Chain A
């Protein structure tokens, strides 16, 4: 099937919006402005947990240029991305819950006036004891972060599939270890930005519809939450997604400024734009939580896994966000990669007084995958088996349903493993071994969208409309949110392939709630699979109409009509024959994109065709066929939608809705690393990554997504991590956070494996997330191969690696930082206290506005 002869699918094409990006013409949210637009700036809490006793902004209002100040009381309705987690308000109403929580918003004529006014707001707080470590937070008996969540436990799940006890009893070797993955964030290059404006209703003369242009991955959810907070019907709210400068999950839920801008625009009675500073982006966060994983795996001497038990604690931060889904993914995706007969899972999502964690690329699976793939290598060593062989031993046999209810159909993992083994010369790795250099391998997988949506509704997850009018232009109206992953291009490719037209003929109108049908957004890697399928169906519907008309024109049956590359012809005829091409296009060789007809002539042509019956034709131009189809109907429209099939929706157990997907992507990776045993520095020389994406609709995009995922995994593996000092984020900047630059980024070679999924559009599955998770354990395993130390806490910084090497050599521990001891990760952090409460929080610079607020009285 992969040998199919497509005209556009499977060909590398430049993203349809790439010229706008390379010339600067493309508009992102912060590039937009509206006459009369005001600027909003948010006052953030400097305390991690405190009651708000009083907010006095009268001094701020006196400053010239300040229009209004918005506080929590202006919009007290609660919202949250999950129906079970409506625990946020636009601005803090009763208390603040992390350093950076939103307290007030100044709306002013300029950014500098708004900034100056922030310092004139006097807030009186009553500090409360704060919780910074999840294991301590769970022991809380009073001063809960949310009153409705006793013991600060957002949610816990306890699953058991098969018979885990019996499974462990059958095992020859059982290992139990604790793994810790520290907190990372998306740090998309574009800081969040929202521009909100109201228009007057001509009937009532009052404030009417709201338009919000925002950097979001989920325009429909934003429309929904705005409606809740503002008490407005959704029909009166229009959300438009301009170009979005990267998301990675950080824009996949409602970020406070999106709501605040709308509330501020309503109070200021003028358009308001809010753009986060980079520091505010770090505080808005919603990244991957620090995760503590107690993992136990049993294996037989022949390499077959008998059982897995995982206890996972996630440090979720101050709000629910996607937390309930994150903790479920951590358990559910223990399945569907290997054949594991018995699984026990205990997951705890815990609230702490830190910025909320949410969904980040590889949502919920990454940290547990790091633990699992690391432990699998340890087990392989114990039973004397090759790490690659042990993975091959435990492959699934699809089509199948895993013990925890996940349906697996296409499964390219075996081929992924073969490819990276071959390319990395895995079997020869023992020969000519260099000192301190090693190879490690790991696998991972991810969903192609969730089979059940988070909004608990039976509506299709995607709907797409296509319109073709007499100009011959194909306009696709899709709710898919392109955030740089290339979904607009994917939609254009599918429409063009089905309709047999050139890519340049397709125009994509995307992610505008007034124009495009509901699509639930760009997250959980659902867009190619779901919106792609909806596009395919819409295009097929419209194609049937064109084919019916063309078959009449060509006096043949509809089955014999072929549409390809702007030519409609009878089966058996070759559109490539130059004489026929001439007849159709009136031109030799160089086939023009709009096939010789210009607008106006199309209309005239169709009228003439009626007047003068030319008799049946062998071939029509795209315009002729389209015109024939719409002679009696007007513009052609087609609509298609996609809802995941019931069989893909998983088990009936509590929380069983998270994990099931219509299809899973697979990835295998080998990392080649060198470890400097003097400094502990790890250098990645190369990574080979093979990814099963079903079918690569646009290979250059798929490779870009795979490489980008692996690269982001490398960042988490080696250098990215949030550093906390009692609830204060110490590295809220791109350099301090250590986002890898070109000089720190190794060569990543990607290989596409095509398993052709039976339900994906043209067989396609997910490509943008599944490869991230394997990068971290592949490097951990390579470090072990190189120097014989096992790193169980990420990232593998020089301090942690050196400390592990010294521990292995029985050398004295170097206390470079107190928090680093990879040999005993459970003792690492001592945030447990309530230093803030005792008045011993970190010292701030005396010019720090937050400090001045502290001494305002």
Chain B
């Protein structure tokens, strides 16, 4: 298939790349932009390992066509796990996942990072039930999710403290 030129805005940077028009966003990120943080765990959007954000909304890159998400006057801003750490330090949720055992093999972790960040952005004080519900689209085979809840709560506390300090 003949390649076409498209423009994607990923983690705040613009990229002009030539890809097949039917190429999936996940493959484009991993192969053409070298952003291998987003993972392929299944092939049918059932596991959530490929979760990214488009304009802050968590979406599954394994079933999205890259050419449909060209940057567009401030729209279609794509964020991947590589865009989570800011200001030269781990984000609170990244630190907390390490400290509390939220990540074991780590293969599902990038997807969880994107899902949890979206949850924390839209709901700064989620209940246990809301956390459980928010995570239900991402599968993990190592942790049984329990230590993730502890990590998420610790991250929320850390962020609140950070905010209060300002």
Interface residues, chain A, with chain B CB atoms under 8 Å away: 12, 14-15, 17-28, 30-31, 33, 112, 186-191, 243-248, 275, 277-279, 483-486, 700-701, 703-704, 707-708, 710-712, 714, 733-735, 739, 741-743, 745, 747-748
Kindly state whether residue B42 has any CB partner on chain A within 8 Å: yes
Kindly state whether residue B21 has any CB partner on chain A within 8 Å: no
Q: Are A246 and B46 in touch, CB under 8 angstroms? A: no
Q: Are A189 and B100 in touch, CB under 8 angstroms? A: no
- Of A277, A703, A711, A741, which one neighbours B101 at CB under 8 angstroms? A703
- Total number of residue pairs linking A and B with CB closer than 8 Å: 181
Q: Complex Cα distance A245/B49, Å?
A: 11
Known A21-B106, A23-B94: A734·B35 in contact at CB below 8 Å: no
Q: Complex Cα distance A739/B144, Å?
A: 11
Q: Complex Cα distance A278/B37, Å?
A: 18
Residues of B81-116 at the interface with A, using a CB-CB cut-off of 8 Å, are 81-82, 84-85, 90, 93-95, 97-101, 103-110, 113
Q: Are B139 and A741 in touch, CB under 8 angstroms? A: yes
Q: Are B105 and A484 in touch, CB under 8 angstroms? A: yes
Q: Complex Cα distance A53/B36, Å?
A: 42
B residues within 8 A CB of A28?
36, 39, 107
A residues within 8 A CB of B148?
742
- Of A20, A187, A742, which one neighbours B106 at CB under 8 angstroms? A20
Q: Are A733 and B81 in touch, CB under 8 angstroms? A: no
Kindly state whether residue B135 has any CB partner on chain A within 8 Å: yes
Q: Are B35 and A189 in touch, CB under 8 angstroms? A: no
Q: Complex Cα distance A48/B99, Å?
A: 47
Residues of B101-140 at the interface with A, using a CB-CB cut-off of 8 Å, are 101, 103-110, 113, 131-133, 135-140
- Closest CB in chain A relative to B36 CB, distance in Å: 4
Q: Are A278 and B41 in touch, CB under 8 angstroms? A: yes
Q: Are A246 and B142 in touch, CB under 8 angstroms? A: yes
Q: Are B94 and A734 in touch, CB under 8 angstroms? A: no
20 CB contacts below 8 A, A to B, read A18-B97, A18-B98, A22-B90, A22-B95, A189-B139, A190-B41, A243-B106, A244-B105, A246-B105, A246-B142, A278-B42, A483-B105, A700-B100, A707-B144, A707-B146, A711-B146, A712-B141, A734-B41, A747-B146, A748-B144
Q: Are B146 and A189 in touch, CB under 8 angstroms? A: no
Q: Complex Cα distance A703/B108, Å?
A: 19
- Closest CB in chain B relative to A496 CB, distance in Å: 17
Q: Are A734 and B139 in touch, CB under 8 angstroms? A: yes
Kindly state whether residue B38 has any CB partner on chain A within 8 Å: yes
- Of B37, B101, B131, which one neighbours A25 at CB under 8 angstroms? B37
Interface residues, chain B, with chain A CB atoms under 8 Å away: 20, 30-31, 35-44, 46-47, 49, 80-82, 84-85, 90, 93-95, 97-101, 103-110, 113, 131-133, 135-148
Q: Are A186 and B141 in touch, CB under 8 angstroms? A: yes
Q: Are A278 and B43 in touch, CB under 8 angstroms? A: yes
Q: Complex Cα distance A187/B37, Å?
A: 20
- Closest CB in chain A relative to B99 CB, distance in Å: 5
Closest to B31 in A: A33
Q: Which of A21, A188, A484, A701 has the most CB of B within 10 A?
A: A21
Known A23-B85, A31-B30, A246-B141: A735·B46 in contact at CB below 8 Å: yes
Closest to A743 in B: B136
Top 3 nearest A-B pairs (CB, nearest first) are A24-B37, A484-B105, A21-B106
Q: Are A22 and B40 in touch, CB under 8 angstroms? A: no
A residues within 8 A CB of B108?
189, 245
Q: Are A739 and B30 in touch, CB under 8 angstroms? A: no
Q: Are B46 and A486 in touch, CB under 8 angstroms? A: no
B residues within 8 A CB of A17?
106
Q: Are B105 and A742 in touch, CB under 8 angstroms? A: no
Q: Are B107 and A190 in touch, CB under 8 angstroms? A: yes
Known A742-B136, A743-B133: A22·B42 in contact at CB below 8 Å: no
